[in-house]
Every structure is written in C-alpha cells, then in structure tokens.
Chains A and B, each alone.
Chain A
Amino acid sequence: MPCLLTVVGSANTPRPASVRRQMERKLAAAPGEYAALRQQWPEFETDAALEEFLAAHDLKIPVWTAEDIGATEGSIGLAGSPTQVHKINFVVLESAESKTIPPTPEAIAAMVAELVHEYIVG
C-alpha cells in the first residue's frame, strides 16, 4: 500500500460538488492569501494571528516549499530538467496546390468528377 491507479476519462462521472462542504470551507486560505484576507478582517492584526485562527478551525491550507520536500534548486524547475528546448518554430503552413470550390451542387459534382478521374475515389 498504497496502490496507485490511473483511469481513463470515461471511468467515472464525478458527483456534483457538495454545496454544504463548499460553504464550510469557503474561508479556507493559504499563506499567500493572508494579506488580502486581513484587509477584509482587520481584527487580525498579524498573519500569525490569522493563521492561528485558521488552523484552529481546520481552514489553513498548508503550502509545501521545495525545502519541505527536500528538493534542491538544481533538481527542480528548468535547472533540474534534463530536457531543454533547443528551438521553437512557427508552423509555416504549406500552401498546397489548392482550389476553392463554391458550395453549389454543380461545383461539388465537378470536384467529385475530378477525384474520380484522379482515382482518388471510386
């Protein structure tokens, strides 16, 4: 244990989100949101006071840093990636030898005749 599974998109139709749980958790916040929250609630004079309140009500969203998971700077992000982008090209669409066919029965029939003539269809 644990057993890790991946499933295809058709494996399950998720139930709708629970409105009750959404209401219960709508105040949940991560440290990055403290400043904005404290403007709404000036009674919390410091981030620490707000955090204490959130933690006490199980509303604190913990955020892990690279340090928390023991990752060094060289092992994550661009520096940690063994793959590098050598170049990026815009796709130049090949303008094939092309014809514009008006959407009329006559023109379409002519196109079909041409395709039959070229042994593309039939």
Chain B
Amino acid sequence: MNTSSGRRAMAEPKSIWVFIEHTEGHIADVSFELTGKARELADQLGYEVVGLLCGQDVDALAHDVIHHGADRVLLADHPELALYRTLPYARVAITEARKRGPEIFLIGGTPNGRDFAPRVASALRCGLTADCTDLQIGDYYVKRQDKTYKNLLYQIRPAFGGNLIATIVNPNTRPQMATVREGVMRRPAADAGRTGVIEAVTPAFEPGDFALEVLSRQVRKSTVKLKDAPVIVAGGAGIDGAEEFALLRDLANLLGGEVGASRAAVDAGMIDRAHQIGQTGTTVRPRLYIAAGISGAIQHRAGMDQSSKIIAINTDPNAPMFQIAHYRIVGDVGEVLPMIIKSLRERSMDQRDAE
C-alpha cells in the first residue's frame, strides 16, 4: 500500500518483485520469463527488479536470477525453507513486502505459485490477477473522482469465457500482484556479465508457520514436452473417439512433434491434462500447430496463437480457429488427417528412393 511506503527505507528505489521458484537446484523457466518481463517494465518506470528467492543452500541460484535481469535478490536461506511450504514461504514474502513496499509482485502460475500468491495477497490486503496473458504499464482515469492514477500495472487476461480481453488494475493497493503461466512471456538470454546485489534476509517465522510437515516427496518427471516441441498436433471436441485420437499421435510421431489437446478433449477423458494447451494449460509457440477439431475458444487460442504456422481442420467453416489459421481445411478430421499422414509417408519414401 502506498500509505505504508513511509516505512520503506528512503534509499530503496521502487521495485518490481519476482517470486523465484526452483526445484532440485534449477530455477523454473517461468521465473526467468517473469524476471525478463519485470526488467522490461522496470526500465520503463525506472524501478528496480528484485527476485525473492527462498530455499536452503541456494545462493548459487541468486546469480542466475541477476544474469536474467534482476538488480537485487532477496535471499532467504534457511533449513525450514528447503522445500516449498505455503506458510514459511509466504511469511518471508509478507514480512519483506511490508518492510519494503514493492510496487509490483509477479508470480509464476505454477501449482506452488498459485498456492503462494493468494496467501500473500490476502495478508497484504491487495489485489491479485491470475493467469495474465500480457502485462503493460499505463494510466487509469476514474471519472467519479476526476483522478488519474499514473503508471499502473495493466493486468491483461481473457475474461468472462467469451471473446473478451479484460485489462485489470489495482489503483489503491500495493503491491500490484499478478500470476502468469509458463511460456506466456519470453525467456530473456542470460548475461553472465550482469551484476547485482544479493541481500540476505532473515526469516521471521511464527510458531504456526510449521503446521505442515513434508514427510516424503516424489517427483515424477513429466514425459510431455509440449513447450519445446517444434510441431504440435492438437485435438479438440471435434475428435470422434480413440481411433481418431490415435491419428493425432501418428501424425505427431511422423513430424517429430507432440500431441496437444483443448480443454474439451481433456475433459472428455481423451487425453491426460498434461497435454492441455491454452490459458489454463501450457502456452506454446511451435513452428507448426495443427488444430484438429478445435473450434478455437479464446482460452485455447491464448496458448497457441503465436505459433509460426497454424493448420486448422474443422467441419464448421465458422470456427474461430479458422480466423487465425494459415491453412484452413473445412472437412472431417477422420478423413483429412489420414491424407496428411499419407502425403508425408509418400514424401519420405520418395526421398529414400532418391537416395
């Protein structure tokens, strides 16, 4: 809150914070992506980018954060912070945010980030916008008060299920908090020459903070690599049964790609949620995106509209997906996919013959 800024040491510049997530000694991609975005916004405003890093023996990671654009890392290194737990992690953030009064606080929309962010926002009595697809800086005029709020964080995200994009602001509370999912922002290149301040902070835990104990932890490595796949063949509600879905796999294998899905296909149980693409799934920008039987709701498009080439296959000529597609095929997925597969197989056979 601005009213609490009096408590902030005068020497400390205004700041944009990023919650730095990490597992097994590696910082999550989304934290780097957000550090890059924070850098961009901070340069517009003349603010400082601050990474909040909690953990045990994680000082090596702090340099990584600075190399990706941070000016300062608040490093809370403590045995009780070895693994993510809501209360101890939130305690560090709440205590430091009260003390330093950041203007903006960005958090990755991961399972842990989505657990952490509302806890902190609620304690600080400030607003939080989830799953933003864009962040910008701008002014906000309130007619009722004839007052213009300068340099607010525009938290931009699809809204109300329709083809609407809402720009949300927090005029009166600080920090302005937002979560962004992995892959939405671009990851900046590391600059090993970049320097910054690593500032150790001592957690001020309270007795109730250790209500939860982690007894054991098993990490299952995801075998779905949607984010880095050069080609994605995705199916939606227009896919008729398992047999047609298998065609998606065949085509993806032929192209060296991955199978993706719209929420409709996931909800119908055709494929695991790990394959979901869109605002609440994975955000991708492959070289080629084949949308088979996906009408193209805005929540889905938000996760794939940056793809270099989009092929849309749908029986409904009015499907919104056709409007962003480079190749529009009005037809039945069960007929069109085999044609693409056949054509690719023939080409590779011709190639083999030529060799």
Contact = CB atoms under 8 A, between A and B. Distances in A.
Interface of A: 9-10, 81-91, 93-105, 108-109, 111-113, 115-116, 118, 120-122
- Most chain B beta-carbon contacts within 10 A, residue among A81, A84, A96: A84
Contacts of B186: none
Given A95-B323, A96-B324, A103-B329, A84 B171 contact: yes
A10 B269 CA distance: 11
A95 B311 CA distance: 13
Given A91-B165, A99-B328, A83 B323 contact: no
Contacts of B324: 93-94, 96
A84 B343 contact: no
A113 B343 CA distance: 9
B326 interface: yes
Contact of B339 (A94, A99, A105, A120): A105
B125 A82 contact: yes
Nearest to B337: A108
A103 to B, nearest CB: 3
B288 A121 contact: yes
B287 interface: yes
Contact of B163 (A10, A91, A104, A105): A91
Nearest to B312: A98
Contacts, number: 117
Contacts of A97: 326
Given A91-B163, A93-B320, A120-B288, 11 more contacts: A9-B273, A83-B169, A84-B170, A86-B168, A91-B298, A94-B323, A99-B326, A101-B328, A103-B332, A118-B309, A120-B308
B251 to A, nearest CB: 10
Interface stretch (B20-28, B126-134, B234-242): B126-134
Contacts of A112: 340, 343-344, 347
A88 B170 contact: no
- Most chain B beta-carbon contacts within 10 A, residue among A82, A85, A89, A97: A82
A-B complex: 7 closest residue pairs judged by Cβ atoms: A103-B331, A82-B127, A83-B127, A93-B323, A82-B173, A108-B339, A109-B343
A84 B168 contact: yes
B344 to A, nearest CB: 6
Contact of A89 (B126, B165, B340, B347): B165
Given A108-B340, A115-B309, A122-B347, A101 B327 contact: yes
A97 B346 CA distance: 28
B325 interface: yes
Contacts of A101: 327-329
Interface in B123-174: 125-129, 138, 140, 154-155, 158-159, 163-173
Given A85-B166, A85-B168, A98 B127 contact: no
B335 interface: yes
A11 to B, nearest CB: 13
A84 B336 CA distance: 46
Contact of B335 (A87, A103, A116): A103
Interface in B198-249: 231
